[in-house]
Structure 1
Amino acid sequence: MAPVLQNKLVTLCLFALLCFLSTAESTRKGASVAKPCRAHTANIKDFGAVGDGKTSNTAAFKKAVAELAKHEKKGGGMLVVPPGKWLTGPFNLTSHFTLFLDKGAVILASTDMKDYPLIAPLKSYGRGRDEPGPRYSNFIFGSNLTDVVITGNNGTIDGQGQMWWDKYHADQLKYTRGYLFELMYSDNILVSNVTFVNSPSWNLHPVYCKNVIFSGVTVLAPINSPNTDGIDPDSCTEVRIEDCYIVSGDDCIAIKSGWDEYGIAVAMPSQNISVRRLTCISPTSAVIALGSEMSGGIQNIRIEDITAINSESGIRIKSGVGRGGFVKNIFLRNMNLYTIKWLFWMTSNYGQHPDDKFDPKALPEVTGINYSNVYAENATMVARLDGLQNDHYKGICISNVTAKMIPSDLPLWNCTNVEGVANHVTPKPCDLLRDQGPSGKPCAFPKATLAIDKVPISQCPFKG
């Protein structure tokens, strides 16, 4: 399920005008909502960049983006990165802008820590995720942008994260590692046909964003690399993740919405998110995770047509005392798992807190959880479902599940403080999930389509 490489003389530059307000009307009329090509195109070599993998091109990338930003209101700008290895420090994007990586192009992140200034922590986290205080700059970043595209012919963005991982393991970092790509307070974003590798920490992190599409994206990290989540929508609305291939040292997809009292105060839920046709390898973590930072709430998530190989858990809900918030109206169907420890896992014991100011009375609401049509081979346990004693997880529905188990001393099911139903599930579900037997109905999956799923991605001819 990896992205298909386009071996043609004419490279297809994919991008969309993801304008939420016009999408529904344009779709009803049958008209394309995609913009034409950017009016202004430049090559990174035009700004003195050298693709030898050794020369620093930080100034060239910053100059190129600044020059193309002048065309924001005049048809936008596209920066082409041709084949070669283009070493650079962090740089910011601009609005109405396309970063195009041609086949054989590799953008290499600098490994000089002096190139990464400290930036403020996210308001919904109150501090850096690894350490208190500020955080190191992200590699590719932007804030308050609109109409931003990263695409190409499967070029690569390489975070060269080994240095960061080594320092993290040796406890030599005073501040939180930056992410390979982060956009804040932005809308109309498309990332397609690009490979991201070796991120220092989380790979792709849209936060406080809306109308975001990740299509045909590959994310690769060593399976023992720390916290290298694949794609983490965080306090985002209308997100589509499709046809992606992720190998990760952490969760392949992690949907988040802020941490404890800070996430509760910001109160920006992650909602209306579609994840489909995903292939994941994550031996120590989840294929799809909801949380653990979910204090602003997570709702209306559709997940379908998922394949995972050698992963720890199929879908995992992470929460705990002090988180508050909610996880509700979660719908999953058609998941195939090959070598898995838990198909389903709900965790209520996340005790990590940003500080001691969290409210111990802030308990998460977990309800409306629907899982159907799941097949697993070489599974250790079917489910580990742990609610809180004074805060049961309710409204759980699991249907049409077949798990082929490996010999193990562990119980097939472990259920505490949960309430729900099950039907057509093998092995037999735990007693807290009332078995409805042969007459039971499949778990719900919405018929209505999300607005973001209606947004087409059009093509623009571009000669590399």
Structure 2
Amino acid sequence: MTDLVTVAVSARMAAIRIAVPGARYYLPDPVSWRLRATNGDNLAWEGRTDRAVTLLDMLSPGTAYLLEVEGLGSLQFRTRECSGLVEAAAYGLLPYVSAQDTAAALRNADALQAAIADLPVGGTLRIGPGRWTALPVTLRSDMTLHLAEGAELCSPSSRDSWSVFPARDNAGHLLGSWEGEPAACFAAPLHAIGARRLVLEGKGILDGAGNAGDWWGWAKETRDGARRARGLHLIDCSDVTLFGFTIRNAPSWIIHPQGCHRLVAACLSIEAPHDSPNTDGFNPEGSSEIRVEGVRFTVGDDCIAIKAGKRGPCGEAAHLRETRDVQIRHCLMERGHGGVVIGSEMSGGVHDVLVEDCEMIGTDRGLRLKTRRGRGGSVSGITMRRVRMEGVLTAFSANAHYHCDPDGHDEWVQSRQPAALDEGTPEIDGIAVEDIDLHEVGHAVGAFLGLPEAPIRNVSIRNLRVHSFDPEAAPAPPIMADGVQAMRHEMIVYEHAHVECDDPTLLSPSRLSVSNFQAAS
């Protein structure tokens, strides 16, 4: 039976899931739809879609609609009320001249902040067609920012006058961060702190200008006392809706919900060049009830990286928060280091993650878990089903010897001998993989490397179909740990892990670690 599901609704837009069997990012076959208002004015729209999550726009606030999809039934929904529409152009925005025009960027940021301040509760600020440059802008509660089709909001290439988040606010709450620890960072071009009922929507473009400045030249460094900015940074926000727009060229992570609760991201396009450093697409951290549907990724790092903070070098843990209840549906991940990744910053714990009806093309890995001794925390309840992968090097991996941080190659991190259990011992328990199609696998179908003192538990693999291997693949280690064998066209290899598969021929007798491996002292 087909279900039509409302994924997100604002005053002027809606995202609808058309859940037909076999749908991933695209529907098996395009369908026609008809939308009409049910308030008696007989207005109606017709269209055709090939997307499993389809965006409807140009709707009227506070209006009931009936959506009818050819051969698939109907759905009723109502748009939100809008207390007022404000045009950003009325505040004197200056048109784009160049990425170096810092004066216009400062003027436009001030104009947008004034418009946001004047916006009534529940109102909409519309940025119309045109190209505009602005320094970082702070969004607030009970507002919608609507980027109209043809609108492009860009950051300047220079960091002059660029604001910075301190690691913590005056009350000690985490603001800035870097790789899971408190750290000052440049403010994102669009950001919000503690906002409630925030909507960011439209068919326009947010461009972080990471390609125009020097951001990508100092990926792991600090400059002017701060780490690189994100593209969109949401801190301690709740009831957030993001849909319709394209976001690209972020200075670092593209969308970073940090400490957020109840957030929906739908029908977005998230983009970065393949060689841009640490441009992860969507990184929920210390967050809960996150929904990602109908999003297309092509990025320079992981498409989705789910995180929960990193324990400090001296065991600091006050900043850690668990991430729980993340659902990812009908997404297309065309390039990136990983499709859906958990970690390596997972010290607060990551639980109950569902990935279903997605497609991954040309990502290095499909589902990837990574951690190491010293991180602590636990990962549980990870489910992936009805996913198609093509040209992925290693489809499934879980690695408890990930060689991150300056001490990542040390003996105590990489040793395959049991270590004492303590608060820094990470745990992985519960990975369910079902109904997966793999094409052109490069290195291995699966690679699971646990700790001898805390093996990976309860990995269940069902209905896994390996259709083909990549004939051009060169041997390489399937996971990033020391002492791992180079592999090519391998099946499921595991060490210090409990793996059950309904097809025993997919379980390889090969060793994952080299037999004479000794970690560096």
What residue number does 2:435 align with?
A: 373
1:5-35 Cα shifts (integer Å, max 9, x gaps): 9999x724899xxxxxxxxxxxxxx996863
Aligned partner of 2:426 among 333, 340, 364: 364
SS at match of 2:217: helix
1:106-255 residue pairs with structure 2 within 5 A?
Answer: 106-121=152-167, 128-129=178-179, 133-152=183-202, 154-162=203-211, 163-168=213-218, 173=223, 175-255=226-306
Give 2:264's aligned amino acid: I
Question: Relative contact order, CA 8 A, sep 6+: which one is greater?
Answer: 1
Whether the 8 Å contact between 2:240 and 2:264 is mirrored in structure 1 is yes
Whether the 8 Å contact between 2:222 and 2:228 is mirrored in structure 1 is no
SS at match of 2:197: strand
1:103-125 Cα shifts (integer Å, max 9, x gaps): 11100111111132332236679
What CA distance in whole angstroms lies between the structure 2 residues aligned with 1:263 and 1:132? 10
What CA distance in whole angstroms lies between the structure 2 residues aligned with 1:115 and 1:392? 50
Q: Structure 2 stretches of 5 or more lacking a match?
A: 1-24, 27-49, 63-74, 414-420, 476-486, 511-521
- Could you say if the C-alpha distance between residues 196 and 12 of structure 1 is closer, same or farther in structure 2, counting changes exceeding 3 Å? farther
1:391-410 residue pairs with structure 2 within 5 A?
Answer: 391-403=454-466, 404-407=468-471, 410=487
**How far apart are residue 101 of structure 1 and its match?**
0.8
SS at match of 2:108: helix
SS at match of 2:362: strand
What residue number does 2:335 align with?
A: 282
What residue number does 2:447 align with?
A: 384
What CA distance in whole angstroms lies between the structure 2 residues aligned with 1:7 and 1:419? 42
- Could you say if the C-alpha distance between residues 167 and 69 of structure 1 is closer, same or farther in structure 2, counting changes exceeding 3 Å? same
Given the alignment of the two structures, is residue 341 of structure 1 paired with residue 393 of structure 2, yes or no? yes
**How far apart are residue 322 of structure 1 and its match?**
1.0
What CA distance in whole angstroms lies between the structure 1 residues aligned with 2:295 and 2:406? 32
Q: Structure 1 stretches of 5 or more lacking a match?
A: 16-29, 433-464
What CA distance in whole angstroms lies between the structure 1 residues aligned with 2:181 and 2:236? 23
Given the alignment of the two structures, is residue 323 of structure 1 paired with residue 402 of structure 2, yes or no? no
What CA distance in whole angstroms lies between the structure 1 residues aligned with 2:454 and 2:344? 17
Aligned partner of 1:11 among 58, 62, 70: 58
**How far apart are residue 71 of structure 1 and its match?**
4.6
Give 2:184's aligned amino acid: P
- Could you say if the C-alpha distance between residues 320 and 6 of structure 1 is closer, same or farther in structure 2, counting changes exceeding 3 Å? closer
- Could you say if the C-alpha distance between residues 289 and 360 of structure 1 is closer, same or farther in structure 2, counting changes exceeding 3 Å? same
Whether the 8 Å contact between 2:180 and 2:310 is mirrored in structure 1 is no
What CA distance in whole angstroms lies between the structure 2 residues aligned with 1:77 and 1:204? 24
- The alignment-based identity, stated in percent, is 23
**How far apart are residue 45 of structure 1 and its match?**
1.0
- Could you say if the C-alpha distance between residues 132 and 144 of structure 1 is closer, same or farther in structure 2, counting changes exceeding 3 Å? closer
Larger displacement relative to structure 2 (334-343 or 127-136)? 127-136
**How far apart are residue 313 of structure 1 and its match?**
0.5
- Could you say if the C-alpha distance between residues 49 and 186 of structure 1 is closer, same or farther in structure 2, counting changes exceeding 3 Å? same
What residue number does 2:484 align with?
A: none
What CA distance in whole angstroms lies between the structure 1 residues aligned with 2:427 and 2:125? 45
SS at match of 1:266: coil
**How far apart are residue 264 of structure 1 and its match?**
3.8
- Could you say if the C-alpha distance between residues 274 and 7 of structure 1 is closer, same or farther in structure 2, counting changes exceeding 3 Å? closer
Whether the 8 Å contact between 2:432 and 2:459 is mirrored in structure 1 is yes
SS at match of 1:89: coil
Whether the 8 Å contact between 1:130 and 1:175 is mirrored in structure 2 is no
Given the alignment of the two structures, is residue 304 of structure 1 paired with residue 359 of structure 2, yes or no? no
- Could you say if the C-alpha distance between residues 287 and 212 of structure 1 is closer, same or farther in structure 2, counting changes exceeding 3 Å? same
SS at match of 1:246: strand
- Could you say if the C-alpha distance between residues 322 and 386 of structure 1 is closer, same or farther in structure 2, counting changes exceeding 3 Å? same
What CA distance in whole angstroms lies between the structure 2 residues aligned with 1:148 and 1:78? 10
**How far apart are residue 414 of structure 1 and its match?**
2.6
1:295-352 Cα shifts (integer Å, max 9, x gaps): 1110011110110111100100011111111110111101111101101011112343
What CA distance in whole angstroms lies between the structure 2 residues aligned with 1:14 and 1:346? 46
- Could you say if the C-alpha distance between residues 335 and 315 of structure 1 is closer, same or farther in structure 2, counting changes exceeding 3 Å? same
What CA distance in whole angstroms lies between the structure 2 residues aligned with 1:146 and 1:178? 22
What CA distance in whole angstroms lies between the structure 2 residues aligned with 1:263 and 1:128? 15
- Could you say if the C-alpha distance between residues 130 and 254 of structure 1 is closer, same or farther in structure 2, counting changes exceeding 3 Å? closer
Whether the 8 Å contact between 1:192 and 1:214 is mirrored in structure 2 is yes
Larger displacement relative to structure 2 (166-175 or 376-385)? 166-175
RMSD between aligned residues: 3.3
Give 2:179's aligned amino acid: R
Structure with larger Rg: 2
1:154-186 Cα shifts (integer Å, max 9, x gaps): 210011102244422696846311101011111
What residue number does 1:45 align with?
A: 89
What CA distance in whole angstroms lies between the structure 1 residues aligned with 2:287 and 2:457? 25
SS at match of 1:337: strand
Given the alignment of the two structures, is residue 96 of structure 1 paired with residue 146 of structure 2, yes or no? no
Q: TM-score, normalised by structure 2?
A: 0.72
SS at match of 1:340: coil
SS at match of 1:45: helix
| Count of aligned residue pairs for this structure pair | 411
Whether the 8 Å contact between 2:237 and 2:259 is mirrored in structure 1 is yes
What CA distance in whole angstroms lies between the structure 2 residues aligned with 1:70 and 1:60? 15
1:406-417 residue pairs with structure 2 within 5 A?
Answer: 406-407=470-471, 410=487, 411-417=490-496
Q: TM-score, normalised by structure 1?
A: 0.80
What CA distance in whole angstroms lies between the structure 2 residues aligned with 1:11 and 1:140? 24
What residue number does 2:131 align with?
A: 85
1:31-57 Cα shifts (integer Å, max 9, x gaps): 968631x21221111111022344624
**How far apart are residue 260 of structure 1 and its match?**
1.5
Larger displacement relative to structure 2 (53-62 or 362-371)? 53-62
What CA distance in whole angstroms lies between the structure 2 residues aligned with 1:14 and 1:374? 41
Whether the 8 Å contact between 1:124 and 1:259 is mirrored in structure 2 is no
